[in-house]
């Protein structure tokens, strides 16, 4: 009984008048610029109305929602509702720059008689995404010696030959030709990389995951002609996107706000305004049974939303149609480069944000 009374109390809390709620919750998209873009974060901003805007964790937990729209090995699209742009942007920045992965950092060239210069080839090798679980390895500082705990060694040994029938063998060097050396470097004196024990045991278990290789086998690294050779050893280390984009685990990650199209007044479907709306934005505006124009879900018709914006330049349309975006509804897309599945990337990003706050709290 007491709980019921409490819930009723919450619902009876003072609510904002409609026009202020509109300003707080929606970005109004005008013809030339967008209005009401900022979020109202201060606790006392609506103090004069008697509405409390301070942080309420229980309210957040009630309002917060994640709805996954699409999820496969590389791409995840989901809706995140009830969160502020500060958090959404923090997650986007962490996904791009601070989730660690492994990428080739040092390339020791033994022989390169191709026309691709050493440094260009090394740059291309660095950008190849590697299928290596980053949690198995430690970060390597510059002064530290490479060991099996922080380095993974790959070898590339290709020579192009002309076959008996005139065609060429090995004329394209692709990322699938990178061989993993579980025992470590084959030139320990030159590379200063000595493994105390091999790394084969890390991947020996059938459940441990695939053996280290490039994520995609068909990335073209160099082209050779008969007689040309590339022999090199590549050392991969752990890093984050902050240092170099090759360590970024996402092809990219971005978000946009949920669009909402709303008719402000009744527009008959056979009037000038109605007909032009339906002609310029097919599918977004349809005629309903009563003969009035109706706006359908803006989400499926993004292609015509900019045409609607152009129409809003005229007063007869801007008084009839409102094109808005909901401020706390983010449509997030994460495109992974293949190293980790996107839901795993998001979980790690949340973990990293949590750790940053924890670190700061400890230092205070």
Partner 1 sequence: MDSEATDFFAATFSIEEEDHTLANSLRFFLNKNPHVAFCGYSMPHPSEELVNLRVQTTGQITAMQAVKAACEDVKQVCSHMRSSLAAAVAQYQQEEQAREQKKR
Footprint of partner 1 (CB under 8 A): 41-44, 52-55, 57, 60-61, 64-68, 71, 78, 83-84, 86-87, 89-90, 93-94, 98, 343, 346-347, 350-351, 353-354, 356-358, 360-361, 364
CB of 94 to partner 1, least distance (A): 6
Q: For residue 243, which of 173, 140, 149, 346 has the smallest C-alpha distance? A: 140
Q: State the DSSP code for 327.
A: E
CB nearer partner 1, residue 229 or residue 343: 343
H helical segments located in 175-233: 188-191
Least separation, in Å, of the C-beta of 109 and partner 1?
33
Smallest distance, partner 1 to C-beta of residue 14, A:
16
d(CA 233, CA 246): 18
Q: In this complex, which beta carbon is closest to partner 1, that of residue 161 or of residue 354?
A: 354
**Could you give the CA distance from residue 117 to residue 106 in angstroms, rounded to a whole number?**
15
Q: Which two tokens stand for residue 195?
A: 């493994």
Phi, psi of 238 (to 5 degrees): -90, 140
Nearer to partner 1, 147 or 343 (CB): 343
Residue closer to partner 1 by CB (options 27, 121) is: 27
CA distances from 8 to 3, 11, 13, 29, 223 (A): 9, 5, 9, 36, 73
Q: Which is nearer to partner 1, 245 or 303 (CB)?
A: 245
Given the structure tokens 């495109």, which residue do they identify? 335
Please state the closest distance from residue 53 (CB atom) to partner 1, in A: 7
346 in Cβ contact with 66 (< 8 Å): no
Minimum Å gap between C-beta 330 and partner 1 is 12
Q: What residue has token string 């309903």?
A: 288
């Amino acid at each position: 009984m007491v709980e019921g009374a409490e819930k009723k109390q919450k619902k009876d809390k003072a609510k904002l008048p409609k026009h202020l709620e509109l300003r707080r919750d929606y970005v109004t998209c005008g013809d030339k610029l967008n209005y009401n873009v900022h979020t109202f974060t201060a606790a006392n901003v609506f103090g004069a109305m008697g509405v409390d805007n301070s942080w309420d964790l229980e309210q957040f937990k009630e309002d917060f929602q994640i709805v996954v729209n699409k999820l496969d090995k590389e791409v995840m699209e989901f809706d995140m509702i009830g969160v502020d742009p500060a958090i959404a942007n923090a997650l986007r920045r962490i996904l791009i720059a601070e989730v660690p992965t492994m990428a080739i950092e040092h390339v020791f060239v033994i022989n390169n008689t191709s026309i691709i210069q050493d440094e260009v080839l090394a740059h291309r090798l660095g950008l190849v995404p590697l299928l290596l679980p980053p949690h198995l390895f430690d970060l390597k500082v510059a002064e530290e010696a490479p060991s099996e705990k922080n380095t993974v060694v790959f070898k590339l040994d290709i020579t192009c030959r002309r076959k008996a029938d005139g065609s060429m063998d090995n004329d394209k060097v692709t990322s699938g030709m990178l061989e993993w050396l579980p025992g470590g470097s084959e030139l320990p004196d030159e590379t200063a990389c000595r493994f105390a024990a091999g790394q084969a045991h890390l991947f020996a278990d059938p459940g441990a995951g695939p053996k280290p290789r490039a994520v995609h086998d068909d990335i073209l690294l160099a082209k050779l002609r008969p007689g040309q050779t590339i022999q090199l050893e590549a050392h991969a280390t752990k890093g984050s996107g902050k240092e170099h984009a090759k360590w970024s685990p996402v092809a990219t990650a971005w978000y946009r706000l949920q669009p909402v199209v709303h008719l402000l007044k009744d527009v008959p479907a056979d009037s000038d305004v109605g007909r032009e709306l339906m002609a310029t934005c097919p599918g977004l505006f349809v005629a309903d049974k009563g003969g009035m124009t109706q706006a359908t879900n803006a989400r499926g018709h993004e292609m015509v939303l900019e045409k609607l914006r152009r129409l809003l330049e005229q007063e007869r349309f801007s008084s009839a149609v409102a094109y808005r975006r909901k401020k706390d509804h983010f449509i997030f897309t994460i495109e992974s480069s293949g190293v980790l599945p996107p839901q795993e990337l998001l979980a790690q990003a949340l973990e990293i944000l949590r750790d940053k706050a924890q670190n700061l709290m400890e230092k205070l």
